[in-house]
Chains A and B, each alone.
Chain A
Amino acid sequence: MKNMGIVFQKQGKDTVKNITVLIQFVIYPIVAAVMENAIQVEDLPENFFVGMFAVMHISMAPLSAMAAVISEEKEKNTLQVLLYANVKPMEYLCGVGGFVFGACMAGSGIFAVLGGYAGRDLLSFLLIMAAGTLTSTLIGAAIGIWSRNQITATAISMPVMMIIAFLPMLAMFNKNIETAASLVYSQHIQQLLNGLRTEAAARPENVIVIMINSVMAAALFALAYRRKGLT
């Protein structure tokens, strides 16, 4: 637990000085704030940009940040230094993962403010965002573990997060894509967020697909960890 806290702190200090990772955590809330205030189109649903960028935020930020952090540590052998200093692999992953999750949830908090959520809606919004963030964090960790270096991690994570993040948007324009998107958690998170806005009840399949995706992400992470370990 103590080591996990130290890794968490280290990650915080490093992220503040790492523009490429830091920008992942702040870019989507900033763009959403700008778009929400700058673009006023008639018939545009309320909080349209908040919902759209919130899905992008939870699909892209944790995934790319986790993959980048773990692969960089492997490439530069700082991870080896930690492991020889008696940090257990799970302590390391929980420390880094905890920080990435926390940073993304802080971004989710900004989305909640932008969307004007309060009370029960706020709690629901944060829970939906947490479910998506957790799933993306696990996928990012699996990619980071699998990758030998940062270039490989970027090469793998980029298409994966593009698919996850953009499917809900593309699904609005094409029936076939909508069918494919119905298997991916980001689409259901988008639907749940829309439901919050329109006060429609959550459908069971939304929750089921998100849960199945989370379990699959956890299995992918476990497989990567068992096959590759952290060394």
Chain B
Amino acid sequence: MRIKTETAIRVLDVAHSFGEKEVLRGISFSVERGEILGLLGPSGAGKTTLIKILTGQLKPSAGSVFLGEYNMADAKKEIYRQIGMMMDHFGFYERLSCMDNLRLCAGLYEVQPQRIREVLQCVGLYEDRKCPVQKLSKGMRGRLALARAVLHRPAFLFLDEPTSGLDPVAARRIHELIGQLRKDGATIFLTTHNMVEAEKLCKHVALLYEGTIVEYGEPQEINRRYDHMRRLKIRLYGGKDTELPNTWESADILYEYMQKGQIETIHSTEPDLESVFLELTGRGLE
């Protein structure tokens, strides 16, 4: 059965420069409704600039961005009722409680007060609802930021490094929430330099390096494209470890080891996004 999909986000040949410095060029991709797209890249690759362009915080030097049918170049402010943003630089009223911060946004977005309780329970902060934001840990702030971003049930959700600096437990909780939001129909665009996060959450990923997308596709599909990077890790009796590339020549060597009964263990290592990125750019994602 063919499922009809709808394009939620369309980015056409976007470029951006800060003065002389070109930070993005030739960026084009699309995201289907209800899909999670992950933008991976190391610090300074242009991820935050791109997310700012997608959310209308920054006008691109060239190209167009469409959210649904809205061209962001001439979209009215009302579009922000459909957008949720979790950005590192978006602050909270530190002296006010979690509840008061969300109550403020609920008033502005005309959201029922009941929804505040729902989102606080969802992010596990209901018990801490009266706690001033300045007393929250970084992980709790992250969850509160996510709660604020989804409070008005946006159709488009933009998450800039949602788990950056969080401990594994807090990160896992955020992952679960993002998965739930996708199931509820939100189109999610997230930036990360954590390839495990991207593989776990995203239907498609785009690898961004020095302002251009160097690879795009489903994580498994990208990994398959670089199957030539698959390695065989062999441990021989006597504790000697050896690694062979995935080639016909290796098959001969392997056969020889087997003939002599020297192999203790053998593993095949698949390429992952980290190694693909390393292969493409010569540097890691971190």
Contact = CB atoms under 8 A, between A and B. Distances in A.
Interface stretch (B25-33, B78-86, B169-177): B78-86
Nearest to A80: B90
B100 A76 contact: no
Given A3-B108, A6-B107, A84 B94 contact: no
Contacts of A85: 80, 105, 108-109
Contacts of B257: none
Nearest to A78: B91
A77 B104 contact: no
A17 interface: yes
From B57, B108, B109, residue with most partner A Cβ within 10 Å = B108
B112 to A, nearest CB: 15
A7 to B, nearest CB: 9
A77 B93 contact: no
A13 B83 CA distance: 27
A9 B89 CA distance: 24
B85 A84 contact: yes
A78 B108 contact: no
Contacts of A86: 77-78, 80-81, 108-109
Interface in B102-132: 104-105, 107-109, 132
From A76, A77, A80, A81, residue with most partner B Cβ within 10 Å = A81
B92 interface: yes
Main SS at interface, chain A = helix
B95 interface: yes
Nearest to B108: A85
Nearest to A84: B80
Contacts of A17: 95-96, 132
A228 interface: no
A173 B85 CA distance: 58
Contact of A77 (B81, B83, B90): B90
A156 interface: no
Contacts of B85: 84
B108 A77 contact: no
Nearest to A10: B104
A82 interface: yes
A78 B107 contact: no
A88 to B, nearest CB: 8
B89 to A, nearest CB: 5
Interface string B36-77: 000000000000000000000100000000000000000001
Contacts of B93: 10, 14, 78
A145 B250 CA distance: 68
A78 B92 contact: yes
A106 interface: no
Interface string A33-62: 000000000000000000000000000000
A155 to B, nearest CB: 22
B109 A76 contact: no
Contacts of B80: 84-86
B96 A76 contact: no
Interface in B130-169: 132, 148
Interface in A72-104: 76-78, 80-82, 84-87
Contact of A14 (B95, B107, B148): B95
28 contacts: A2-B107, A6-B104, A6-B107, A6-B108, A10-B93, A10-B96, A10-B100, A13-B96, A14-B93, A14-B96, A17-B95, A17-B132, A76-B92, A76-B94, A77-B90, A78-B92, A78-B93, A80-B57, A80-B90, A81-B90, A81-B105, A82-B108, A84-B80, A84-B83, A85-B80, A85-B108, A86-B108, A87-B108
Interface of B: 57, 77-78, 80-81, 83, 85, 89-96, 100, 104-105, 107-109, 132, 148
Given A10-B96, A86-B108, 4 more contacts: A13-B100, A17-B96, A80-B89, A85-B80
Enumerate the 4 nearest inter-chain pairs by beta-carbon distance, A residue then B residue, closest first.
A76-B91, A17-B95, A85-B108, A77-B91
Interface of A: 2-3, 6, 9-10, 13-14, 17-18, 76-78, 80-82, 84-87
